[in-house]
Amino acid sequence: MPQQPTRDGLIRERVSRQAAYRRLFALPGTLAFTAGNLVARLPMGMFGVSAVVMIAGSRGSYALAGAVTATGLAATGVAGPWIARLVDRYGQARVAVPATLTAVLGSLALLLCVRWGAPDWTLFAAYAATAATPNIGGLSRARWAHLLRDDPGALHTANSFEQAADELCFMLGPVLASFLTGTFFPEAGTLTGAGLLMAGMLLFTAQRATEPPPRARSKAPSPLRGPGIPPLLACFVATGAIFGSMEVITIAYADARGHRAAAGAVLALQAAGSCAAGLLYGALKPSGPAVRRLARCLPAMAALMTLPWLAATTTGSLTALAGALLVAGMATAPTMVTAMTLVQDRTPADRLNEGMSLVVTALLTGIACGSAAGGWTAEHLPPASAFAVPVVAAVTAALIHLGTRPGVAAAGFRGRP
């Protein structure tokens, strides 16, 4: 029976993958903090779509909607490292709860400004207040890094799970936001997201047993000046531009075909592909240094990002675009997990939240630029042609890493696989 060993091997491999994740959640308190974090993280996939639909529907301008969301994301990128530094020094619960409350009030202010027809400048001011939102995924990753500090293999699995969780939230978030804004009223997505964010953060921070201990003011240099960190952050900026531009362009593309309500489901497929790839990647044993793995992941992501552009320009079909986004998303999670592993390895333990917040700052900077560029391109060019923007961003990320000198890329790497 020549096929029997192959079948047995597949069964053993599947069991091994499941066991890797079971070991994570066998640790006391991990299920509870993960549940709270997922509830708080889900609105991160809702706010962008909700704001674009709410503002564009009220003011009739995708350019304005893209500019407002870009401003809020840029403000988050500036405030993020400062908030993370406070978290490292004073602890997650003492800082994250008041910061989240401030962000929720900013979201509600945006809703009221849109609802009451306030001047355009008030939209920018209100959305900028959401910059107080803590790095929710970073808070969870910091807990895993604290709990698994002596087990790099388990930490790889945890990082992959966290990336898959990000994708799951960005998969379900747009669908939920589109459903709420289309079924009830345009502000329903923002209102629901604000409630989930506050409730989830309260549940997450209530799990004190797994919280990393506060640390005294660090004397280590800023992670921003760490060896090999700036090129990684530049790659994250370019990767963020993929996400930001793809969201706005896909909404505009679906709207142009009279299917605005389907935009969230179409965007969800990109996240679904990334989520599945992330879970699989986390269950596999890493092969070779992360620097080399990243050198393979970035070109693969650039190649796959051409698929949505080809589908949109050659078929004009929303169904074909959805399938292309599903496949294109499969390179995202492995790329993000590998790059995040490098950042964690090169960041001092007492500045871990700050280091991961810099990643979020880079991503949000890219998302802001991509959102603005995507909104402008979708308004001034055919929406199908605008899908070239994420392709350019993906190629840029690959070229940045390719152009990094090997000595710099490897500097500070302490041997974690």
Q: Is residue 415 part of a domain?
A: no
Token reading at 236: 């994250």
Residue 218 pLDDT level (bands cut at 50, 70, 90): low
| Phi and psi torsions of 28, nearest 5° | -60, 135
Instruction: Please give the pLDDT value at position 153.
Output: 77
Q: Is residue 416 part of a domain?
A: no
pLDDT at residue 405 tops 70:
no
* 13-22 confidence digits (pLDDT tens): 454 556 778 8
Q: Is residue 417 part of a domain?
A: no
Q: Is residue 405 part of a domain?
A: yes
Q: Is residue 179 part of a domain?
A: yes
From 339, 353, 335, select the one nearest 146 (Cα to Cα).
353
pLDDT at residue 97 tops 80:
yes
Q: What is the C-alpha separation between 391 and 325, in angstroms, rounded?
A: 12
CB 338 within 8 A of CB 368: no
Average pLDDT over residues 276-284: 81
Instruction: Please give the pLDDT value at position 25.
Output: 85
Q: What amino acid occupies position 368?
A: A
Q: Is residue 340 part of a domain?
A: yes
Instruction: Please give the pLDDT value at position 191.
Output: 93
Global pTM?
Answer: 0.72
Instruction: Please give the pLDDT value at position 355.
Output: 79
**302: domain range?**
4-410
Q: Is residue 148 part of a domain?
A: yes
Alpha carbon 266 to chain centroid, angstroms: 17
Domain count of the fold of the chain: 1
Max Cα-Cα span within the chain: 74
Domain with residue 331: its CATH number is 1.20.1250.20
Instruction: Please give the pLDDT value at position 197.
Output: 96
Q: Is residue 175 part of a domain?
A: yes
* 337-392 confidence digits (pLDDT tens): 888 888 877 777 777 777 777 887 888 788 878 888 888 888 888 878 889 999 99
Instruction: Please give the pLDDT value at position 409.
Output: 42
| Phi and psi torsions of 117, nearest 5° | 65, 35
